[in-house]
Amino acid sequence: MSDKIKIIDHLIAIIILPFMVVVVIPFLLKKYFSVYKLSQYSNLDHGVAWILGLTFFIPGVIIFLKSVKLFHQIGNGTLAPWKPTQNLVVKGLYTRVRNPMIIGVILLLISASLFYNSTAVFLWMCFFFISCNLFFILFEEPDLERRFGDEYKDYKSNVPRWIPSFNAWYPVDKS
């Protein structure tokens, strides 16, 4: 498959999945549930909320983009379940945590809830995180074990799902 087609596949997956999760759904929640404001439950003023939002937004974008790049360069697949990676990605951020891409998305959703001053967007972030966790436990991890066997089992037993490790883990080269 040509590199151009792979890039198009990534863009389609990003538009369909993360763009909907991080941009479209939060925008609609803000629009239709604007009466439920985060500021009702905290003493954050608008300026502080925006600064906090930026502190989540910047690392969220960086983590997300670095993860997508690794999926493209090493995984030979996309973030979409319908076009999964062909190779297990155990480089970069993936040496410290198994789901950095979703961590990036969660950070972006936290920033959106702060930018929009929206309780509905914050609750959407909570729902999204719980849904991802269930999906990974029930479907993705068993599928990765089936596809990559002992290589994934070794990775899974050494790299945490959500809380990044201070120490990077690298697979033992068995060649």
pLDDT in tens, 53-82: 999 999 999 999 999 899 888 988 777 777
pTM of structure: 0.89
In a domain, 167, yes or no: no
In a domain, 11, yes or no: yes
In a domain, 69, yes or no: yes
Provide the domain count of the chain.
1
In a domain, 175, yes or no: no
Distance between CA atoms of 128 and 171, rounded to whole angstroms?
A: 30
| CA distances, 44 to each of 38, 49, 51, 118, 140 (Å) | 8, 6, 11, 12, 38
In a domain, 169, yes or no: no
- Residue 8: domain span: 3-158
DSSP 51-112: HHHHHHHHHHHHHHHHHHHHIIIIISS-SSTTS--SS---SGGGGT-S-HHHHHHHHHHHHH
In a domain, 54, yes or no: yes
pLDDT band at 157 (very low <50, low <70, confident <90, very high): very high
DSSP class of residue 34?
Answer: T
What is the per-residue pLDDT for 43? 77
In a domain, 168, yes or no: no
Averaged pLDDT, 35-48 = 81
Highest-scoring range by mean pLDDT, 12-21, 63-72, 151-160: 151-160
In a domain, 122, yes or no: yes
The enclosing domain of 69 has a CATH number of 1.20.120
Residue 174 has pLDDT above 70, yes or no: no
